[in-house]
A and B are shown apart, each in its own frame.
Chain A
Amino acid sequence: MLAEARRDDGARVPGRINLLGFPELPGRDELLATLAACGIELGCEMFPDLDPARLRDFARAELLVVYPWDRYEEPIERLLAAFSDIPAVRPPAPFGVRCSAAWLTEVASALGRRGALEATWREDQVDWGPTWEALRARAGGYRLGFVCDDSDWRATLRASRRMGVPLLELVMELGFAGVDVFAFAGVRRPAPPRDPRVALHTFTTRDELVEGLRRSRAVSFYSELYYDRRLSRLGKNSFSLRDVACGPRGAVRTLERLLTRAQLPFYRRYASLLGEPFTIGEGA
């Protein structure tokens, strides 16, 4: 593959970037369109997908942009070493408005197009800005939550282990009132949170967790399970990475989806009609 990538080692194309490890997440096309408006084009992408036809152009990029996700760390490092003559940047993953701006700025600055980016950003913001502000104001009425079966809850929620999405930081930027983290404290004592808006609750038994969830003011919890009765039957909603999109418009959509899930009254109203959250003996 590397030999193929070296095959057309012609002149660099000004403004061309290669993406490394950046999955085709919702909102990515819009993010690239913002770069395109500044004269920055996508050359080749590697991991998780690969287009062999474009691989021969790999060496013609002016910049390599690395996405922060554990899964492809090793092959990407090898690739960077092999193409050490091409500058590389490692911006934070573009989730939320702040990180999207940081991602775009770092890429554009490295190519000397920061001014163009700032103009494009200002122009776009006129469109999505009011909705973003209105949704954030509404999000301020809700708390979200996480349940971690590991006492090292910070490691569990780290972006590199969540497809690059800094979930905790994202939720806070979206304007939610706060976060309740429930961490298992059976082996080690979990470390306290640094952000005062994050409340840490510990549990050692299923009953403690159930009681804590019932009492929690958080209305929606992170879960990647398709049918998570442990939440629905305790009157809690759930959200997942499927709700997350990148870029500023993606941030608006993420906020809209998380807010919709937070506001959903169905489980709060009718949990008592749905059955038991745990089957007998399960997780006791």
Chain B
Amino acid sequence: MNADGGPDARDPVARWRQRRARQLAPRPGEAFSIPYRIPFQVGLFMAINAIADAYAIIDGPDCLYRKAEWIHGRHDARSTLLDAGGRHRVVPTLVNSEAVVTSDGREVARRVKRVAQLDDVGVAVICSMPHVTIIGTQYDRLIGELQPSLSFPLLEVLGRSLDGDWVDGYADTLEALAAAVELRGRAPEDDQVAIIGYLMDRGEEDHQGNLRELARMIEALGLRLRSVWLSGTRYEALAEAGDAGTLLALPYGRKAARTLARRTGARVIDIDAPFGLQATRAMLRALGRATDRVEAAERFIAREQARLIPRLEWIVPHYFTGRRVAFAGDPQMLAGFHELATELGMIVDFMAASARARDELPAVDDAHTITLYAPPESTLTRILADTTRDGLELLIGDSLAHNAVRSTKLLGLHFGFPCFQRHALFDSPFLGFNGWMWMLDAIANAIDLVHQRQHAPPER
């Protein structure tokens, strides 16, 4: 950098990066298009979906069902968020913009009482849509009045649809749960581990595979994975985290883990999502250090690498090296994806996150790759078109990013949330060692389609 903070005029890499950043930045006309950012309520619904007996009572209109349908029936083929018999786990008050002026919380109380008539409610969460949030309904007072008559905890998650996104919706729900979960009779044990902040966006075999892989890795160190927040269990099972002497805090569970640790005395270890080899090794080493199992961690890492890495010897130069890819999706996956791709020689043209940047997420260290956080969708469309023209071959990302693709030349691997086009019917983890190999298998097969298209005879 030079004295005025700009890139050094003599440094061609800095100049190139500045030029590239200018090309990728939103243009004036694009700034007002829909952002590539998933709404707050969807994150909250994702958390509700991942607790089998949880309900969300939302002070807002019936369009909330449409948001629930991002998950139910589209992204998650195992979702129980909505119900054909009408016992939906998303319960809107149906307050529209006209009725909101006279809204005083009575509709919320009515919905809570209706939910309370069901026999399998583990927990219920109250939240509001922004046009209701601004009238300042005191949900905490309402909860105070209703709670004594309820057999389940009733929690508030502040509506942050205006300043937050889906990651906040998920993380805030975890934090509310951490403050409320019943921990009486629980005592942390040294060899018990809980993972807090796991983003369980669906109940399909990709996430079930992740949960099995996480348990396998932790058990390889002689520890027991007692609880994963969230993992599709019933609410009462979340209390098992109170038995864990070690809480592994993933980025979206950092606050929840600390809230829980204050109540139980457990130690908290911050980890990144174990997506890719480096983050997986880092997680095991951190856990090994914290539990005095460093040698066991190193032995396991060596064994797993010896098992998996020889499979890649000839795939690397002929499938991965030099391939130009882009990634779009969950911001906590960006650093892991970048490491995973560049270790095998892929060129990451750019990355886009479907949420805002967050301090707790690792930075991507690369002079080549520019990362955009929640850019306007029209910016994403333009960048995808430009980079495809310049040689981008494969987009790995969620359905929103794929919707922004206009060129038939660009092939895609559907991955992340939401993923409407690909479902996981068989064990297909993407975290840990086995997840690393699954991800590379999926990318190699997608690249094979790139090969086939490049070498296909011209259309007549």
A113 at the interface (CB under 8 A from B): no
- With A238-B317, A265-B343 as given contacts, are A260 and B322 in contact (CB-CB < 8 Å)? yes
Of A253, A265, A274, which one neighbours B313 at CB under 8 angstroms?
A274
List which A236-282 residues lie within 8 A (CB) of chain B: 237-238, 243, 253, 256-257, 260-261, 263-267, 269-270, 273-275
The answer to whether B16 and A133 touch across the interface, beta carbons within 8 angstroms, is: yes
Cβ–Cβ contact A273 & B344, under 8 A: no
Inter-chain CA distance A226–B290, complex, in Å, is: 45
Q: Which of the residues B12, B321, B322 comes within 8 Å of A136, measured between beta carbons?
A: B12
**How far is the CB of A97 from the nearest CB of chain B, in Å?**
14
Set B12, B312, B318, B367: member contacting A266, Cβ < 8 A: B312
Known: A257-B322, A260-B321. A275 touches B312 (CB 8 A): no
Q: In the complex, which residues of chain B have a beta carbon less than 8 angstroms from the beta carbon of A261?
A: 317, 321-322, 345
| B264-323 interface with A by 8 A CB criterion | 305-306, 309-310, 312-314, 316-318, 321-322
> In the complex, A134→B366 CA distance in Å?
13
Interface residues of A in 119-146 (CB under 8 A from B): 130-131, 133-134, 136-138
B367 touches A138 (CB 8 A): yes
Which residue of chain A is the closest to B339 with respect to CB atoms?
A265
In the bound complex, what is the Cα–Cα distance between A40 and B365 (angstroms)? 46
Q: How far is the CB of A247 from chain B (nearest CB, A)?
A: 15
Q: Please tell me the number of chain B residues within 8 Å of chain A, measured between CB atoms.
A: 26
Report the separation of the CA atoms of residues A133 and B12 in the bound assembly, to the nearest whole angstrom: 6
B interface with A by C-beta (< 8 Å): 11-13, 15-17, 19, 305-306, 309-310, 312-314, 316-318, 321-322, 342-345, 347, 367, 391
Cβ A270 vs Cβ B321 within 8 A: no
Beyond A133-B12, A274-B310, is A266–B344 a contact (Cβ under 8 Å)? yes
Instruction: Please name all residues of chain B whose beta carbon is closer than 8 Å to the beta carbon of A137 when the two chains form the complex.
Output: 11-13
A18 an interface residue at 8 Å Cβ cutoff? no
From A131, A136, A260, B347 is in contact (CB under 8 Å) with A260
Q: Please pick, from A130, A232, A266, A273, the residue contacting B19 in the complex, using a CB distance under 8 A.
A: A130
- A-B contacts, 26 of them at CB < 8 A, read A130-B12, A130-B15, A133-B12, A134-B12, A134-B13, A134-B15, A227-B314, A238-B317, A256-B322, A256-B347, A257-B322, A260-B347, A261-B317, A261-B345, A263-B342, A264-B321, A265-B342, A265-B343, A266-B343, A266-B344, A266-B345, A270-B305, A270-B309, A273-B306, A273-B310, A274-B313
Q: From A226, which residue of chain B is reached at the shortest CB distance?
A: B318
Considering only CB atoms, which chain A residue lies closest to B318 in the complex? A226
Which residue from B19, B313, B345 sits with its C-beta under 8 Å from A263?
B345
Question: Cα distance A243–B17 when bound, in Å?
Answer: 24
Complex CA–CA separation, A256 to B345 (angstroms)? 11
In the complex formed, the residue of A with least CB distance to B344 is A266
We find that the number of chain A residues with CB closer than 8 angstroms to chain B is 29
Chain B residues with CB under 8 A of A269: 343
Residues on the B chain within 8 Å of A232, using CB = 313, 317
Smallest distance from the beta carbon of B219 to chain A beta carbons, Å?
A: 24
Q: Which residues of A contact B312 (CB under 8 A)?
A: 266
Q: Which secondary structure dominates chain B's binding surface?
A: helix
Residues in B whose Cβ lies below 8 Å from that of A267: 316
Cα distance A256–B368 when bound, in Å? Answer: 11
A260, B345: Cβ atoms closer than 8 Å: yes
Look across to chain A and name the residue whose beta carbon is closest to the beta carbon of B11. A137
Instruction: Report the bound CA distance from A267 to B344 in whole Å.
Output: 9
Q: Are B16 and A274 in contact (CB under 8 A)?
A: no
Q: Are A273 and B309 in contact (CB under 8 A)?
A: yes
Q: Which residues of A contact B19 (CB under 8 A)?
A: 130
Q: Which chain B positions have C-beta within 8 A of A237?
A: 317, 321
Q: Are A274 and B309 in contact (CB under 8 A)?
A: yes
A6 smallest CB distance to B (angstroms): 33
**Best-surrounded residue of B318, B322, B391 (most CB of chain A within 10 A):** B322
Q: Whole-angstrom distance from the CB of B307 to the nearest CB of chain A?
A: 9
- Please give me the residue from chain A that is nearest to B345 by CB atom: A264
Q: List 7 extra interface pairs beyond A134-B15, A137-B11, CB under 8 A.
A: A130-B19, A134-B16, A137-B12, A138-B367, A260-B321, A267-B316, A273-B309
Q: Which of B317, B342, B345, B391 has the most CB of A within 10 A?
A: B317
In the complex, residue of chain A having the shortest beta-carbon distance to the beta carbon of B16: A134
| Least CB distance, B1 to chain A, in whole angstroms | 15
Nearest Cβ on chain B to A257's Cβ, whole angstroms: 5
**What separation, in Å, do the CA atoms of A243 and B345 have in the docked complex?**
14
How many angstroms from the CA of A232 to the CA of B314 in the assembled complex?
Answer: 9
* CB nearest neighbor in A for B317: A238
Distance in angstroms from A226 CB to nearest chain B CB is 7
Least CB distance, A175 to chain B, in whole angstroms:
10
B residues within 8 A CB of A131?
A: 16
Give A260 Cβ to nearest chain B Cβ, in Å: 5
Q: Which residue of B lies closest to A231 (CB)?
A: B317
A-chain residues with CB within 8 Å of residue B322 when the two chains form the complex: 243, 256-257, 260-261
Would A273 and B305 be within 8 Å (CB), given that A260-B321, A264-B316 are in contact?
Answer: yes
CA distance A237 to B343 in the complex (A): 12
Which of chain A's residues have a CB closer than 8 A to the CB of B15?
130, 133-134
CA of A226 to CA of B313, assembled, Å: 11
Minimum CB distance partner of B302 in chain A: A273
**Which residues does chain B contribute within 8 Å of A264, judged by CB atoms?**
316, 321, 344-345
Please report the C-alpha to C-alpha distance between residue A275 and residue B313 in the assembled complex, in whole angstroms.
Answer: 10
A131 to B316, CA, bound (A): 25
Asked, given contacts A232-B313, A273-B309, whether A138 binds B13 with beta carbons under 8 Å apart, the answer is yes
A172–B194 Cα distance when bound, in Å, is 55
